[in-house]
Structure 1
Amino acid sequence: MSHPQHHADSPELERISLGFVPLLDAALLIVARERDCFAAQGLDVSLSRENAWTTLRDKVAAGLLDGAQMLAPMPLAMSLGLGRAPCETLAPLLLSRNGNTVTLSDALCQASGATLTSDPTDSALALGNWLRGQGSGKRPRLAMVYPYSCQHYQLREWLTLGDIAPDRDVELVALPPPRMVEALRDGQIDGFCAGEPWGTLARHCEVGRLVTTGAQLWPNHPEKVLGVTRSWAQRYPATLAALLRALRDAGEWLYASPEHRRQALEWLALPPYLDRSVRHLQTLAHDEAPIYQQLCGPDVLRPTPQAALHFAEPIVRQLEDAGGRFDPALLAACYSPVHFDAATHH
């Protein structure tokens, strides 16, 4: 709905809808709404909980959502037309760094001896040695959240540390994050790589154990971003700028004190957001071992193409293996800081 009359710097849209998947790194969207950071920028924002990344992706591409929390590789994959028709998508702000865990079932950890240490190679080799000792036993089924995700690439990288061939020695499947713990409990999967709170919830429910983290594999990698289509950004530049300022303000508030992070966790625990999945958490931890999730702080939110190189590599490989060609200018456009810098006078 367009605002009939507005100043050049006021949002073109009064009301916008943003999608999120129930994960801790939806925090800035939830804080910005509950603390009225959006309202302070002249925006009436509704948050739409989506349980699967594919649903969220398709709703943004179709214009049913104005934007969304996205997996960091998703804007690039969408722009390249991987997994769906091409839709040029931008990531004008980072919502988090780190935050993933590789979690294996209690039974698989007991059998293999895989355990969390300071070196992810230890748990990978424990699993690999156990698999090789098994001979031609049943392949473990491991879940990740989406084919073009840091979770998928980190899981594959961890497996190769143990000389485990991801496409031969295990079965990889995609599952929405909220289904991971239940699937692990029911024996449908033997492990998963997903963002928080799902790994620590599996541990709390005594159905799984952490064996490594995304922070160990790729320190300080961008994990989630705000994603909008390029056409939306071009059509509503003042709305985008207001949105970026609201999220920056939410991040500054969240970073300011542990008390603010406790309050944020209470908001995340509300039924429309993450509900019961965060009840095991005492605080919204920021940058604490072993997961080192960063949801706020100096320079956490500003995107750069350089920060995207780690997850761009496997995407480029997949594209070229399928006979496609990669244009580096597309990566630079997807993760450019230009919108963030203009909105926040960085």
Structure 2
Amino acid sequence: MSHPQHHATSPELKRIALGFVPLLDATLLIVARERGCFAAQGLDVTLSRENAWATVRDKVAAGLLDGAQMLAPMPLAMSLGLGRAPCETLAPMLLSRNGNTVTLSTELSEASGAKLDDDPGTSALALGNWLREAGRGKRPRLAMVYPYSCQHYQLREWLTLGDIDPERQVELVALPPPRMVEALRSGQIDGFCAGEPWGTLARHCGAGRLVATGAQLWPEHPEKVLGVTRSWAEQYPATLSGLVRALVAASEWLAASPDNRRQALEWLALPPYLDRSVNHLRTLDIDDAPIHQRLYGKGMLRPTPQAVLHFAEPIVRQLEKQERRFDPALLATCYNPVHFDAATHH
């Protein structure tokens, strides 16, 4: 029996609202909108800029957004009811890999001697030794973007490389990514772990120094995903297929030439998107050491449950503390490539 071709089916919804947070890994959404990849799939997509991940989560769960760029752990956390009432959420495709930086204030970096090295443990140990000696009694305040995020888990992992107890020797706070640089500059925080462009912007304006990257800690980790509720995916399968194909087309266009990546950077710099926060970037060739942010490349966008084990572990540990059991089948549901494969005939 032959299966119907997915793209022969026109989308059930013509008008779609997708949320994003101003970060470089919103690029595929922005390119798909500006380049006409969504329109080519018969979709009229509005992009809604949200400043905080909790807002994205709540708006998708409430149906105020059809879907969104999400932190990779978010569909799992939402499905488990961590941070809000449970809402079954899927990640039908990845939007980026890598892209986070651990950034310390210039003052703390200089005082502790923590600086970027091939081994992220070197900078962590420098900070740890300083806290145990000269900085005794000090408790740096470090920000991450959301409790259930790779940024939070990577920051903790980096601290433990320096024998720093994340519970006792530092104060961890959650802040929206666009607030990080100003908070660092004004002394409200002493460092942060966030996605680009915020780490390199802090460095560019003299407020901070990069001391480690997510790519060093968890090479090739899924960082952002397209997130939709399970009920939405089941109700609008052809619309979801069109979204996936449009975003894949945007990724392939980015990969095709440096000129395309320059054009994408011009789109990112528009006021509705990332505005002035990308003015320090000369190009969008972001797959450079040490950050290695990836938005294109073979097999890059396809989700798999195996790829997300890094961040599943701390979530499972948290559930155990709450005396809740984790069903491994949930990973297979949230990060199943079935929708991606159907859309792309993988």
Same fold (TM over 0.5): yes
1:30 corresponding residue in structure 2: 30
1:124: Cα distance to partner?
0.3
2:232 corresponding residue in structure 1: 232
Q: Distance in 2 between matches of 1:287 and 1:199?
A: 15
Task: Give the AA of the match of 1:36.
Answer: G
1:22: Cα distance to partner?
0.1
SS where residue 192 of structure 1 aligns?
A: strand
1:194 corresponding residue in structure 2: 194
1:255: Cα distance to partner?
0.7
**Does structure 1 residue 42 correspond to structure 2 residue 42?**
yes
Normalising by the residue count of structure 2, what TM-score does the alignment of the two structures yield?
A: 0.97
Q: Distance in 2 between matches of 1:298 and 1:164?
A: 38
1:113 corresponding residue in structure 2: 113
Alignment of 1:48-197 (within 5 A): 48-134=48-134, 136-197=136-197
1:276: Cα distance to partner?
0.3
1:296: Cα distance to partner?
1.1
Q: Distance in 2 between matches of 1:209 and 1:82?
A: 32
Q: Distance in 2 between matches of 1:258 and 1:299?
A: 20
2:3 corresponding residue in structure 1: none
SS where residue 325 of structure 1 aligns?
A: coil
SS where residue 152 of structure 1 aligns?
A: helix
Q: Distance in 1 between matches of 2:295 and 2:127?
A: 31
Q: Distance in 2 between matches of 1:53 and 1:315?
A: 17
Q: Distance in 1 between matches of 2:209 and 2:138?
A: 20
1:138: Cα distance to partner?
2.4
Q: Distance in 2 between matches of 1:13 and 1:330?
A: 28
Task: Please list every run of at least 4 consecutive aligned residues from structure 1 whose deviation after the TM superposition is greater than 2 angstroms.
Answer: none
CA deviation profile, 1:210-236 (whole Å, cap 9, x unmatched): 000000000000000000000000000
1:134: Cα distance to partner?
3.5
1:341: Cα distance to partner?
0.2
- Structure 1's unaligned 5+ residue stretches are 1-6
Q: Distance in 2 between matches of 1:150 and 1:134?
A: 30
Normalising by the residue count of structure 1, what TM-score does the alignment of the two structures yield?
A: 0.97
In 1, are the aligned partners of 2:120 and 2:216 still within 8 Å (CA)?
Answer: yes
**Does structure 1 residue 303 correspond to structure 2 residue 303?**
yes
**Does structure 1 residue 15 correspond to structure 2 residue 15?**
yes
1:297: Cα distance to partner?
1.2
1:334 corresponding residue in structure 2: 334
Q: Distance in 1 between matches of 2:307 and 2:8?
A: 32
Q: Give the paired residue count.
A: 340
1:82: Cα distance to partner?
0.3
1:258: Cα distance to partner?
1.0
The sequence identity of aligned pairs, in percent, is 83
Q: Distance in 2 between matches of 1:322 and 1:262?
A: 48
- Alpha carbons of 1:288 and 1:135: their partners in 2 closer, same or farther (altered >3 Å)? closer
SS where residue 215 of structure 2 aligns?
A: helix
